[in-house]
Each structure stands twice: as structure tokens, then as C-alpha cells.
Amino acid sequence: MILQKTYRSLLSVRTGIDGLIFRIVLRIYGVHYGTVRTTGLPHLTVRKGAEVRIGDGFRINNRFYGNALSTGRCAIWVGDGARLDIGRNVGISSSYIIAEESVTIGDNVKVGGNCYIMDTDFHSIDPDQRKFPDTDRQNTRTAPVTIRENAFIGASSIILKGVTIGKGAVIGAGSVVTRDVPDGQLWAGNPARFIKNL
């Protein structure tokens, strides 16, 4: 019992230190943020001219935290001149957000462990352009991603470029979302498809 209490106390201290370091890093990058809570530290890159806003009550989990899918560090990458807007009361565990152009996450969104949210293909679809790094990157397709208020993204899901996920929508675990999901619907699968209205 004493060892368990000591362990919990040490975790609490570590979480406090992680939170302080994370807030310092956010300030260095010029991120506008409200209250944030972190377990562990994420990988964070904010490139030149990027704009990042994080609302109050942001929780980001970057280590084992009660389930097998939340074991790693989150990675957030915001490219040159890109925008990342995270609303209030958003929770993310062990996931990846890549904003080459624009990613918007509304209030009260929950993102399960090991998800990918990305607004870019990373590479050209033309094999001749992929031969050379310059033409490969120049011909990459991007399109904004929007996840609206109260949506829930199940563990190990992938949200691809150009997708809007509606208010209160639920994405089943392990889904690959390639097209828009209307408000208040459950979608699942690869590619994700309509399952039912909620």
C-alpha cells in the first residue's frame, strides 16, 4: 500500500513536470493555448509561419495510461504556413496529427490511441515525380481536415486529407476515413462506411 501511494505520488510529480515543460515548448513555438494537461511529452514541430491554437482543457497522453493502445508519444507536426486549431476539452492519446495545410479539431472531441489525422498524401502519386525529392514534395496533394464538435475517433483510425467528420459522429476503431462523415452517424471499416444513425 505504501509503495503504491509512493508510486502514484511520483507519477503525479512527473506529470506536473511534463506539463511545465510542454507549456514552455508551446511558448517557444508561439502557440496560443489555454489550460493543458499532459502525461509524458509529445513530439512537437511547428514550422515557420505556422499558426497553432489550443483551447482550454486540452489533454494529451504520451505514455502508457490504462490501456494497451495508449503506450507511445503523440506527434504533432505543423508545416510552413499551415494551421492547427484544437478546440476546448479535446483529448488525444498516443496519436499523430500532421497539418501541411489545415487541421481543425472542434470542442469536446476525443481521439483514441494510435490514430493518424493528416491533411496530406506526403508524396506525389506520379512515380516519375517520386524519383526526386524536390518534385515529389512539390506535387504532394493536400486538403484541409475538419473534425467537428463532440466527435469521437476510435483507436487506430486514420483520417485522410480533405475529410470533414460531422458533429457528434463516431468513427469505429481501426477505420480508414476517406470521405466526409455527416453529423451524428457511426462509420467504420476500411474504407469507412455508414453503419447507423446515432
Q: Which three cell numbers stand for residue 163?
A: 475529410
The one catalytic residue among 123, 130, 137, 141: 123
3-state secondary structure the chain: CHHHHHHHHHHHHHHHHHHHHHHHHHHHCCCEECCEEEECCCEEEECCCCEEEECCCEEEECCCCCCCCCCCCCEEEECCCCEEEECCCCEEECCEEEECCEEEECCCCEECCCCEEECECCCCCCHHHHCCHHHHHHCCCECCEEECCCCEECCCCEECCCCEECCCCEECCCCEECCCECCCEEEEECCEEEEEEC
- Identify the residue whose cell numbers are 496519436: 95
- Identify the residue whose cell numbers are 495508449: 70
32 part of the active site: no
Amino acid at site 31: V
Cα–Cα distance between 108 and 95 in angstroms, integer? 17
**Residues with a known catalytic role:** 123
